[in-house]
Amino acid sequence: MRVAIGADHAGFELKQFLAHRLTADGYDVVDLGTHGPESVDYPEYGAAVAGKVVAGDADLGVLVCGTGIGIGIAANKVPGARVATCNDLFTARLSREHNDANVVALGSRVVGQGVAEEIVRIFLQAEFQAGRHQRRVEKIHALEAPDAVPA
Catalytic residue, chosen from 9, 20, 98, 141, is 98
The pTM assigned to this predicted structure is 0.95
Kindly state whether residue 51 falls inside one of the protein's structural domains.
yes
Higher pLDDT, residue 137 or 74: 74
Q: What is the C-alpha to C-alpha distance for residues 108 and 87, in angstroms, rounded to an integer?
A: 9
Its domain, for residue 104, covers 2-142
| Residue 60 domain flag | yes
141 is catalytic: no
* Strand-pair partners of 35: none
Domain-embedded: residue 148: no
Torsional sign, CA 51, 52, 55, 59: negative
Q: How large is the average pLDDT for residues 22-37?
A: 98
Please write the tens of the pLDDT for every residue from 106-151. 999 999 999 999 999 999 999 999 888 988 999 888 888 878 776 6
Mark whether 35 is an active-site residue. no
Rounded Cα distance, 131 and 114, in Å: 32
Domain-located, residue 17: yes
Indicate whether 150 belongs to any domain. no
pLDDT at 91: 97
Query: What is the domain count for the chain?
Result: 1
Look at residue 151 and tell me if it is in a domain: no
Name the burial class of residue 19, with classes exposed (0-12), middle (13-18) and buried (19+) by CB atoms within 10 angstroms of its CB: buried
> Which CATH number characterizes residue 113's domain?
3.40.1400.10
